[in-house]
Amino acid sequence: MLNDIYGELKNQLSASEMNNLKIKQFQWIKDRDAASQKESKEAGEGTLGYAEEARILHEMTRERCYELVTYYMK
């Protein structure tokens, strides 16, 4: 869903706006990945660690979808 929203924003935003969003999106991806890895390490090795990592990735991605639609979509 995130990729679909991002693709639609490419059609709606100006080149300058899209460039600014691209920079913010790359930083968001780094932050999301760091948060999920942190949760995975805190949960420990094995299934629980993987489950926590997946949970964080899912929650943060869902929140990002809402942010993009709310603040950027016209």
Q: Which one is predicted more confidently, 60 or 43? A: 60
pLDDT digits (tens, 9 = 90+) for 23-40: 999 999 999 999 999 888
Q: How far is CA 74 from CA 12, 31, 71, in A?
A: 7, 26, 9
Average pLDDT (1-24) is: 96
**Confidence check: pLDDT of 41 > 90:** no
